Amino acid sequence: MHQFITLIFSFFVAAGAIANDLVSADTAAGQTLYQSKCLACHGVAGVSIIPANPILAGQHGEYLYKQVQYFRDGMSKNAIMSAMAQGLSDAEIANVAAYLSEQQPVIAGAADMELAQSAEKLYRGGVIADGIPSCASCHGPAGEGIEPVYPRLSGQHAEYTASSLRAYASGERENSIMQAIATKLSDEQITSLAAYISGLAP
Ligand code: HEC
Ligand code: HEC
């Protein structure tokens, strides 16, 4: 029953429209902006090699567009990214989001296979008794996400995924769905889920 409600909810939330700025985005201008302002931290073509900095290659455009706006407008509190996003217009953000969404996704890979495997059941089925829903119900069995609302998780650096789950739990990052879920996860569950996700292939 719980699963069923989650699925209906997912469908409802996912039925949003793609932002107009993205429809008319200029990916060449996005590439130029990316290379001058973002590449140093997020890597060539969005493939970050620094575990604290998320891989952005192949992430959904709509999700990227919104996240940069959240940093700019204060809904997500991260000193580095808030500073980076200041002064960017919606159109510039759309251009860079469109450029990144067209790059080939990569897989960071799980460093600790045993730890990663221990989270497979949790990722796929959740823990109904604790009110933890299946991650796969929104983010997909392979972590590919569902455009436009549910981001790709697969292949992300474990360090970044763990810190983003902790940011939802502490409220540094606001999102009603993920805050409700992250506050129910133990530290061990966060660490093992992050390891599992880093090894998922899109
Ligand atoms: C000085 C390093 C640095 C620079 C430069 C930088 N970023 Fe970031 N970025 C980060 C870090 C660190 C995070 C993780 C923040 C967090 O944990 O909330 C991040 C997070 C993000 C996210 C969130 C990804 C997700 O999966 O939710 C997006 C999108 C992003 N950056 C885009 C950009 C863009 C676009 C630029 C250029 C305009 C840029 N960044 C420049 C360090 C940087
Ligand atoms: C009901 C749907 C739903 C379920 C179930 C769900 N998520 Fe999410 N998740 C979302 C949405 C929506 C976002 C984007 C939130 C935002 O804008 O910050 C998200 C974002 C995330 C992010 C941030 C990605 C990034 O690049 O920064 C992580 C990590 C994440 N979810 C992990 C999980 C894990 C692990 C589970 C299972 C324990 C889970 N999610 C279950 C809907 C869901």
Q: Does 95 fall in a domain?
A: yes
Give the nearest ligand 2 atom to 193 CA.
Answer: 35
Kindly give the distance from the C-alpha atom of residue 55 to the centroid of ligand 1, in angstroms, as a whole number: 9
Q: What percent of the chain has pLDDT over 90?
A: 85
* Residues 65 and 85 placed together within one structural domain of the fold: yes
Q: What percent of the chain has pLDDT over 70?
A: 91
Task: Give the residue whose CA is nearest to atom 31 of ligand 1.
Answer: 81
Domain stop point among 66, 101, 136: 101
Q: In this structure, are 76 and 126 located in the same domain?
A: no
Domain presence at residue 165: yes
Interval between CA 151 and ligand 2 midpoint (Å): 7
State whether 91 and 168 are in the same domain.
Answer: no
Average pLDDT across the chain, whole number: 92
Residue of 7, 70, 139 to mutate, ligand 2, most atoms within 8 A of C-beta: 139
What CATH number is associated with residue 74? 1.10.760.10
Q: DSSP string covering the chain, please?
A: -HHHHHHHHHHHHHTPPPPHHHHT--HHHHHHHHHHHTHHHH-GGG---STTSPP-TT--HHHHHHHHHHHHHTSB--HHHHHHHTT--HHHHHHHHHHHHTSPP-----S-HHHHHTTHHHHHH-BGGGTB--THHHH-TTS--BTTTB---TT--HHHHHHHHHHHHHTSB--HHHHHHHTT--HHHHHHHHHHHHT---
Number of domains in the chain: 2
127 shares a domain with 94: no
**Would residue 87 count as lying in a domain?**
yes
CA–centroid distance, 179 to ligand 2, in Å, is: 9
Note whether 146 and 186 are same-domain residues. Answer: yes
pLDDT higher than 90, residue 17: no
- The boundaries of the domain holding residue 76 are 21-101
Of the residues 52, 68, 101, the one at which a domain ends: 101
**In which band, very low, low, confident or very high, does the pLDDT at 170 lie, cut at 50, 70 and 90?**
very high
Identify the band that residue 6 occupies on the pLDDT scale cut at 50, 70 and 90: low
More confident residue, 142 or 19: 142
Name the domain boundary from 101, 130, 148.
Answer: 101
pLDDT in tens, 92-112: 999 999 999 999 999 888 889
